[in-house]
């Protein structure tokens, strides 16, 4: 059973993972790199996902060991504090290749009745 905190975290991850995919849909990596607003929006989505991942219940982490929970949590520090090292290519790659698994996990976990 999910805690309220864990459920809220999953909802935050789901919303922002879907938004990151939406913001990168229909364009290629080069266009994304030159669209400052999209780059900033997706980076913010990834920051929120990172922070929310710190609030995921232990049971969720255990049930989904294929998700790099620790890396997701740690990535927020890079987005916030080492932002000079954050490239459009990195943000694009994470958004386009990592969100689908998170979305599936969130939907699976949220579908369990309380």
* Single pTM value for the model: 0.94
Q: How far is 97 from 20, CA to CA, in rounded Å?
A: 11
Could you list the mean pLDDT of each consecutive 10-residue stretch along the chain, which spans 114 residues?
94 98 98 97 98 96 96 94 92 97 97 77
The number of angstroms, rounded, from the C-alpha of 42 to the middle of its chain's C-alpha atoms is: 9
pLDDT confidence of residue 20: 98
Q: What sign does the CA torsion over 105, 108, 111, 114 have?
A: negative
């Amino acid at each position: 059973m999910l805690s309220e905190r864990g459920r809220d975290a999953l909802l935050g991850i789901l919303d922002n993972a879907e938004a990151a995919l939406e913001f990168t849909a229909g364009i290629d990596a080069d266009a994304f790199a030159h669209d400052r607003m999209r780059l900033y929006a997706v980076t913010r989505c990834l920051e929120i996902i990172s922070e929310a991942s710190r609030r995921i219940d232990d049971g969720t982490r255990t049930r989904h060991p294929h998700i790099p929970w620790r890396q997701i949590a740690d990535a927020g520090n890079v987005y916030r504090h080492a932002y000079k090292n954050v490239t459009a290519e990195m943000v694009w790659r994470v958004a386009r290749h990592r969100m689908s698994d998170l979305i599936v996990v969130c939907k699976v976990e949220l579908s369990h009745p309380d």
